[in-house]
Structure 1
């Protein structure tokens, strides 16, 4: 598997990352172990998790597999903080204390003394300066090697990058990006490219819709049929999305490849994308995604998909483009 520099850092990450959002909830320990083994055998290194996934269950399962299924030093661990569990439910909190407490808990669950990449999620009630102080302290104390943001707006990316200069710097921004969601191209991706941060694309398959599995019905074992994930998929079960899926399926048919391979190849070919995070429920699904590694789309197909899915860009974004 190809490895790429994460922005302007010296860290190199695999072009496909392994997402673990479903681990310990929809993906049991046996399936998770098989996924982890297949991913590393294919040359993958970047594993993405979060303190909020299954209330820490994803990290705990991953930590139990490290050292048993694969060696800790053979992978790069990325986890996220900014949502904490309270008696009233989940609460957004990216304050310094909450972030550092969350990181310490993540390290315990992951059974490691450091993560390779630590990302903060948005909290409109906490000043960015305070969030940055936690990111900087995590690197200074060795808890995290690199730091970044998850799901922030372009202006926030620029502000945090400035606050983190000159050290440790903003290494990465994780954001949703696919043929069904190209909003990051307006400001986030240009900010990342200008400021030296690598983009980690989550849900590169449009929350599973770009696989083509929902073209005629909703499979009973799919995320869209799941009580806790149906709302996650629903926004892309639209007529507009269906047209995009049809285009991907048509391209895939002409290339004699699977639709998900076309969708992944399009995304990993975008400038500024360091890694596409693939979250599979089963090992079989993951192996299908790993099969996209050798696919390079013909320019005419890239151009057609670009045109069909291009996001609307106007004032003021357009005026700042070169």
Structure 2
């Protein structure tokens, strides 16, 4: 698998990442069994994949614990770029806590679960409006200077939040940790990052790691029938609400277009949708989550696929988001 530079840093990662959102819980109901997680990690490594993404809140730490165990037995730790996140909290009164104390304690707990003395990429899971941003970013500096993290990034920051954080870090070269990337949902069904986040990231030298690049599984075409297939997220009591926003008429038109393109190229809708987002300007590596090794194998097979210009243009058009003021040319208003 080809690799790409992560933003304006020296870190290189595979151009497809492996996500672990569904790891660490009881299998079934949309989640991944331990044996399937092991098979996925092995297949990903054998295909040349390096970037493995997790978070301290996935399965309440279970995903990190499972990944840490697999690093001992299945795949050499040195061959992977391990990325995790901190800042989300299971508290209905406060969903995010990016205070310096909470973040650093969370990082130490993540390292213990992963069974390693450092992570390659540590990301803030979300913006915390209750904590001064300079305090939050100081935690990233401490993590890197202490050797507990090699690089730092953000996740789920809006355009102005991203620009403010990245500019703050760039204001004192050599004393603050330059941000490497931002992880955001991005797919043919969700192109909102193109309005402000992606332009800011490209201007400030951050790579984009798209999460849910398959539109939470909808772009595979599995939900074109009225009844979600057994074992899918849409059929899961816990995860059905995660899929539901992308089951409307607008999404259906885009899914139909992806299926038409796939038929013309003799590939699967999954491969078309993943190739589209992988090759978008500013994208470093889409992070793909799969329930089984077979599903992951289909995603990995996209390595040799490049969409023809005509198909990319058609998919761009059918999925184009409506951005008017202030993005529209003033002379056209």
The bucket for the TM-score relative to the shorter chain is: over 0.9
Q: Are the aligned partners of 1:24 and 1:58 in contact in 2 as well (CA < 8 Å)?
A: yes
Q: Are the aligned partners of 1:7 and 1:196 in contact in 2 as well (CA < 8 Å)?
A: yes
2:254 aligned partner = 244
Residue 319 of structure 1: CA displacement?
A: 5.4
Distance 2:73 2:94 in 1: 32
Q: Are the aligned partners of 1:136 and 1:164 in contact in 2 as well (CA < 8 Å)?
A: no
SS at match of 2:285: strand
Residue 85 of structure 1: CA displacement?
A: 4.0
The TM-score with structure 1 as length reference comes to: 0.96
Q: Could you list the runs of 5+ residues in structure 2 that have no partner in the other structure?
A: 26-30
Q: Are the aligned partners of 2:127 and 2:161 in contact in 1 as well (CA < 8 Å)?
A: no
Give deviations 1:18-41, integer Å, cap 9, x for gaps: 000001122122111100000000
Residue 249 of structure 1: CA displacement?
A: 0.1
Give deviations 1:196-250, integer Å, cap 9, x for gaps: 0000000000000000000013112110111111110000011110000000000
2:309 aligned partner = 299
Distance 1:128 1:319 in 2: 33
Distance 1:3 1:64 in 2: 26
Q: Are the aligned partners of 1:15 and 1:276 in contact in 2 as well (CA < 8 Å)?
A: yes
Give deviations 1:63-117, integer Å, cap 9, x for gaps: 000031000000000101011346x798421111111111000000000011111
Identify which of 88, 91, 103 aligns with 2:107. 103
Residue 186 of structure 1: CA displacement?
A: 0.4
1:310 aligned partner = 320
Distance 2:299 2:269 in 1: 10
2:149 aligned partner = 144
1:204 aligned partner = 213
Deviates more, 1:158-167 or 1:279-288: 158-167
Q: Could you list the runs of 5+ residues in structure 1 that have no partner in the other structure?
A: none
Identify which of 164, 168, 181 aligns with 1:172. 181
Runs of 4+ in 1 over 6 A off after TM superposition: none
1:215-234 matches, cutoff 5 A: 215-216=224-225, 217-234=227-244
Task: Give the paired residue count.
Answer: 319
Distance 1:182 1:41 in 2: 31
Q: Are the aligned partners of 2:221 and 2:255 in contact in 1 as well (CA < 8 Å)?
A: yes
Give deviations 1:148-199, integer Å, cap 9, x for gaps: 1100001111111111122320100000000000000000000010000000
1:212-291 matches, cutoff 5 A: 212-216=221-225, 217-291=227-301
Distance 1:17 1:304 in 2: 26
2:28 aligned partner = none
Distance 1:133 1:197 in 2: 18
- Coordinate RMSD, CA, aligned: 1.3
Identify which of 65, 73, 77 aligns with 1:68. 73
The TM-score with structure 2 as length reference comes to: 0.93
